[in-house]
Every structure is written in structure tokens, then in C-alpha cells.
Structure 1
Amino acid sequence: MADNKLLPKLLQNLLDILNDEEYYDITIEVGNDPYIKIFRAHMVILHYRSPYLRRILSTNKKKNDETLTHIKLPNISPEIFQIILRYIYGGNLSLNEYDNSVIIQTLIAANELSLQELILYLQSFLIENKANWMEQNFNLMYQTSFENDTFSELQKYCTDLMTKEPIKIFNSLNFSSIPEKLLITIIQNDNLQMSEIQVWEHILKWGHAQNPELPSDITNYSKDDFNTLKSTLQQFIPFIKFYNLTNKEFTDKVLPYREILSEELFINLLKTFLSLSDPNIKPSDNLKPFGNDPYIKIFRAHMEFKGNKQTGKENNSGKQRSKKQLERSGIPPSVLASLHDAALKHLCGKDSLIYPDQTPLSRISSRAFNELRESVPNLAPKQCLK
């Protein structure tokens, strides 16, 4: 049986080789002017530890015994290469002693040198230990993770955060620096776990941040001010689901900004919301691509039927209508039952909404359900305790 107690001495000896001034056989010029440093190393170690360096060394063999091999790595800073070199020789890193930005630079350098083991290790370390920092610096993390397919774990982390906890991104200190394209990618996600009014308010916040010269009080806006904000936010408007706001939300939060909406959209919204007698009712969603989907309507009917049944509303006028609609759909009761269970888990905050892929109802996204759930408030909260 191997005794790991012998490893520390071996690793220390390998690190000591870095300071050897007699047996090194390669010099590495790292960085760009004026920040250049020459490192001494050993080809045999570099050859076996880094596929990238192995390829370089194969094309830079010594011409004779008197000439050292010399290679250049201009894309890596001396500080970062020192960290990488200690890993190559010693096989470990103490990341807690480094700033977060240094860890990110080390990850990028590890990718250039094809150090797959280190890439996986650094990604895991960031996710497990630096989640709060990554949320506050989401723009940097997103751009870094998608620069190369090698950073698959960080890509998954960013995608999950965008979908399941977008409010953390929107509340981050660097929210205003998020590029337009990335922000659009976030808000157009049908599985976004945010209310529509939150999306609208944060888009406005982002728009104001891009134009700090605008008055803080909208009542002081001039025509030019509205045009400036309209120009900034025009790419976002198609992805805001205004028809999923309540009458009160529309009146308080959207109406003051009517000048940044197209005339056609504003008139349609105004007609719709003026027709609502209850300020807390949401109009039919005529903008969402799934708003008139027949399967959405079937699921809504199912949920309304279950909600009425659970609360004992046997005489509810919608019960029979919902029941008939379900019967006409031809969807097996067992499938609807599994959908109902999934919906309850999501409603109780215990799970994301996942539907059976073998049914057309798999088209109902989590974001769609967030909007449908308002139709079934009678799904008893007591079930969340089970």
C-alpha cells in the first residue's frame, strides 16, 4: 500500500529544482515589455506536464549541447506564470492567498497551456468558494466562461444563475456594466425566475445607468430625455411581457414611461388595462409566444379544476367548463397528475418545473407557469408542508 506521507518531501524537492542554477536546460521569456521575466526550467518536466508546452518544445529542440532552448509566452504575465510553474512542478496550489482576479487570470493561463486538471480544479474552487464574488462580477465571469468551451463548469454556473436567480445579477454592484446583448439574453429566457415587474424595473435601472445625465425624477424629463432613454432601451422592449402586469403595476410603473414605447404598443396596452375593473387582475397575454398555446390552456384548465376541487368549490361555474376541456384534450389523466405534482413542487419552491418530455405539455416553461400560477391560488399552501 502506498504511503502518502512520503509525498510532501518529493513535492518539496521538485519545487526546489525551480531554484536550481546548474541543471536547467530551458529558459522561458514571459510577458511583454516592460513587464518581462526570464524563468529557468527543465524540459522533461514541462514536456510531461503541459500538452501545449510539449508541442512548442517539439519545434524548439536544442541545436547543440552549448545552446539552451528558449521559448516565449507573451500572453501570460510573469506573476501568473510563477503560480502556474509552481503547480507544474509541485502539483498543488494554495488559492486562498491570491486575489480573485489573480485566480481568474490563472484559469485563463491554464487554458492556454492546456492544463486540464488545473482548469477543472480552478473552476470548482471558484464555484464552491467565490460564489458571492462571481455574482457581483457576473459580467466578467460570463465573458470569461464563454471565451472557451473548456470552462464548461463555469458556463453551467452562469446559465443556472441567469435562469434560477437572476435577481442576484440584477442586484449586483456591476449590474449597470452588463452589456446589452447579455442582458437581453437573460430577460428573453422563458424559464426566468422573476416577476415581470421586476424585469421592467431593472431594465429601467440599467437604462438610467447608461445615461447618468438624465434627471433622477421622471417628472422633470424633457422630450429629449425620453428620446435618449427610448433609444437606449429599444432592443429590450419586445422582450418585456407587459400583458403579464397587473393594472396597478402598469399604471404606476409603465404609464409614466409611455414616451419610450411605440405608439401602437402603448395604445394596445392602454386599451387592455383600461378594460380591467380590478387593479390586481392581469390581462390575457397577447405578446408571449406561448400565450395562446392550446396546451397552455389545457394545463390552465387542469390546474383550475384541481384548485376548485381541493377547496370544495363544487359549484364553481368554471369547474365543469374546465373538466370538459380536459376531457376533449385527450391527454391521459396520469400525465396531468404528474404535471400537477411538478407544479406543486415548483409552487412550494422545492423544485424547478420539469414536465415529461414525451408530452406536448413539455412546452410549458417555468416562466409560463409563474404566470399561470396566478390562476390557481387555491392550490393549498398546506401541501408545501408534506
Structure 2
Amino acid sequence: MATKLFERLSNDYLELLDDKEDFNVIISTGESSKIFQVHSNVLRYRSLYFRNELAKASKDENNHKKINLNHISTQQFEIIIKYIYGGVILIEDQDASFIFELMLVACEFLLEELVKYLETHLIETNSSWLRLRFSHIYKTSFQNNQLQDLQKWCNDIVAKYPDKLFESEDFISFPENALISLIRRDDLQMEERKIWDYVIEWGVAQNPGLSSDPTSWTNENFLALKATLKNCLPFIRFFQMTNDDIIDIVCPYHQILEKNLWDDVLKRFITPNRQISSIILPPRVILTPKLPSRVTEPFSTVINEMHAAEIASWVDKKAEAYSVTNNPYEFKLLLRGSRDGFTRESFWNLCDQQTNTVLIIKVNGTDEILGGYNPTYWDKSTNN
């Protein structure tokens, strides 16, 4: 068995990064155009992006090739270039926003290993931050096919709480692959009629000239919507809808369906026992609406699950409060005064470095409840 001694190799390559004698590539980054003097052989073999860029770049009078990356911050590129040379990733002191942007830069440079690492780091360490910006994270992840883990993380949440996506303000601007990846799932927790309504809404929004009233459409209008939704329609479970659904919400748009499919839909509901040729997708697996208890001990002596759902809606800036069954957050009890004490020491022992926390206080002798939300983290070292 071969012994792999990578630490020394990594250190040697990081020293090479600092060696200015044999460089042959100049990279400019950030608004201040900071210069990095690097080596083409390392870049070419570590990144397909740089292999392609170096193939296109011409040499200057000093036999150097120049690459302009001024759209990428110097701080981000310093981390990237140290990874390229030494395989080290230095993000311990960076917040989730910086790491997310760094991941997108790694995508641009086609650094698959680094992208995978940063995805995992965000999901395992900064899931609360991702949830607070869910709509943006979801949309961004499906605009880049390298972010498979993040796409799956997002879809697992949306499958359970589809309103988080479908009722977001920018739903109609989501890419087609994001919509398809969701509606194809057997475990999407939404009635088929609602899924159909949202798919139609999305499709109409992609055609600005279409009105919301299909009775006023021309044949060309229906053909335009049919072309827009051609990749989505195969995942609609028409044969799991009720007769009323077919008549009320599908029939007005039947012209966007293939004739054979529409004929089979009608046959199925007029004469259910007649053989049809269309593929019948299975019904979606809808879970019981009652969620299991989120904690094994009493949730709180101050607030209940309904309060928690309402607080979650404030955090997400929702106009309408979440219900207990569709609250996308898990509230984990960190400190209870009656159990852990009301001292400063108790607070810092249990809450130091904890992120995305809610503090709840009940005023003694009254029913008044006070509190606040900290979207960052508690830091004992900065407390006076």
C-alpha cells in the first residue's frame, strides 16, 4: 500500500505561490486590481477554467500571460489561490454570506472539490442562515448545476413545505429546472390541483403577452404556453385529480396538452374502466398533517408551538403567520431560567457562539412576554 504524505507537498506548493522568480501569469483581482503572480502549470492542471483562459490569453513583452478577474474580490481570490496551490481552505473566520459567495466563485473556476466542501459546510454549519434567505438560495442553486447538494437540501425542505417556494414573491422568476425538480417528486406535500395552478401561473408569467384569462387567448397563445411548459407537463398527475378539478381548472387549458393525453383524461373520468395508452403516474405520498413533537421535553414554559410558529413568520417577514404544521424551523431549547439559572454565567455557558437565537422573557406577575431575535451569534469575548 502506498503511503501518501500530502502535508509537506501542500506546504511546498504554498511556498511556490510566494516565489516570484519563475511566475509566468499575472492575475488582476478586485476593485483595486491587486496583482497575483502565479504559475501556468499549476493553474492549468488544477482548474479547467484557468486551462481554458490560459489557452486564450496572449503573452506580453515579458512573456507573461494576463487574466483580469476584477469582478472577484481579492479576499475571495486569496482563499481560492491557496486552495489551488496547497489544497488548504481557510474560512474559519468568515461568515455564511462570504462563504456562499466564495462557493459561487469556486463554481466559476470549476473547482468541484472545493464547491462540494463549501456546500457541505453551509448545510451542516449555516442551515439557519440558508433558511432565512431560502428563496434566494433556492433560485441561485438551480442556476448552477454544480450545486447538487444544495439543490437537494432545498428540495427536501420545499417538498415538505411547498408554500415556502410557491408563495414567495419571486416564484415566477425561478428557473425551469428548479420547478421540474420539485413537481416530479412523489413526496411533494401539495394537492395536485394546486400544483397545476402554480405551474400554469409560472408558465403564463414566462409569456408577458398572455392575459390571466384563457378564454381570451388565441391559438397562438395556447401554443406559446404549451411550448413553455412542455418539460413540466409530464410530471402533472392528471389521473389523480377529481372530476371537478379536470372540468374547473384543466379544461380551460386543455389545448396545451397533447390530444392523446387529453382524450385519455376524459376517457378516464367518463368511463374509468376503459383502457388508455397514457402513462398514469402514482398519487403523491401525502403525509399526515399532524407533525410529531419537535422536542422530547416540554417545549417551553413561556411560549407554545403556536407562538413559535408566529415568531418564525416574523423572522421570515411573512405577512401571514406560519401554522404549527408548516413551521419550517425547529426551535431547540438552549436555556431555561427555572432550570439553568438566571445568572450571566448560565447565559454565556449555554449561549456563547450560538447563532440565530430567540430570547424570550416573561414579566413576573403579568402575562406580558418580551423578546428578540439575534440573526448572528452571541460572543462572550465582546461582552463587557
* TM-score (norm: length of structure 2): 0.49
Structure with the bigger RCO (C-alpha within 8 Å, sep 6+) is 1
- Structure with greater Cα Rg: 1
Q: Which has the higher helix share?
A: 1
